[in-house]
Every structure is written in C-alpha cells, then in structure tokens.
A = this chain, B = another copy of it.
Amino acid sequence: MARRSVEIKKIEDRSKRQVTFTKRRQGLFKKAGELHSKCNADVAVIAFSLAGNAYAFGDPSVPSVLDRYYKAAAAPPENPAPVAGESTAAERKVGEMLEKVVETRDGGQRAWDREVDKLGFGEIEEVKIAMEEMKKRIVLQQRRILFESSNLQ
C-alpha cells in the first residue's frame, strides 16, 4: 500500500486515524461498487467512524440488500422455519404465551390473563424483562420498516 509495511494494529493518533478511515472507507465502497458492476452482485457496506457517524453504500440499494440478507439468514432452505427462535427461557415463554393468545381467536378477553395465571410466581419478573427486550426489538423492527426506502450517504 504505502511507504511502510501495513501494521495491522490500531492507529493511535486521532488525526491520522480519521484520515485513514476516510481513505479506506472510500476504497472499500469503490471495491464494493466494482464487485456489483463486474459480477452483477448485490452488495452493501456499512461503516461507523469512531465519532459514531454512519456511512453506507449499497448496490442496488442498502435496504434492498439488507432485506435480502434477512430473508436468506432467517429462512435457510434446509431449516424449515422452526417456530420460535427465542434465545432465553423467558423469551421462549413469552413466545408460547403469544402463541396461545393468538390462537384463541374465538376467545374471551381473558386469554392474556389465563396465560399469565399459568406462570409460577418466580417467572413473572423474568417474563416481564423478556417482554421489555422483545418490545425494544419490535420498535427497532418497525423503525426498520419505516426506513426501508431511505439511504444514508
């Protein structure tokens, strides 16, 4: 690359690091664009500067590539959609509760109540925390949907 050998270690000097980040980011985006035009491959690159600024590049667009990625990652052909991907026991529990409530379409207003009643006393707090996490995810997901068509930089 340059006048000295590559030195894979972190650059300490803030100013130099900023310059290097900018140059390498440009190079990375250019490479990504070439991969797209030469190989007709969809590609997206996202990078955050230390300052916290987001830079993104996508061909044909960042959101389209990310959507494709989520679909590919979420539904690998050989795994036919295991019903719940919950990662903790409490989250699994919440998933089960939602399942039950959703299934009870005929049902009284007490569907939620019945599900909650089934919980042991100690589970309540765990489930609430899990619920909180899950709600954050829902909000994130919805923000994502809202910004489906937008592109940074």
Contacts and interface: CB of A to CB of B under 8 A. Distances in A.
B37 A9 contact: yes
A27 B38 contact: no
Given A48-B65, A113-B116, A141 B138 contact: yes
A84 B28 contact: no
A50 to B, nearest CB: 6
A87 interface: yes
A117 to B, nearest CB: 7
Interface size class of A (residues with CB under 8 A): 35 or more
Contacts of A110: 113, 116
Given A72-B152, A83-B139, A145-B87, A35 B10 contact: no
Contacts of A42: 47-48
Interface of A: 6-11, 17, 20-21, 24-25, 27-28, 31-32, 34-35, 37-50, 52-54, 56, 65-75, 83-87, 91, 95, 98-99, 101-102, 105, 109-113, 115-117, 119, 124-125, 128, 131-132, 134-135, 137-147, 150, 152
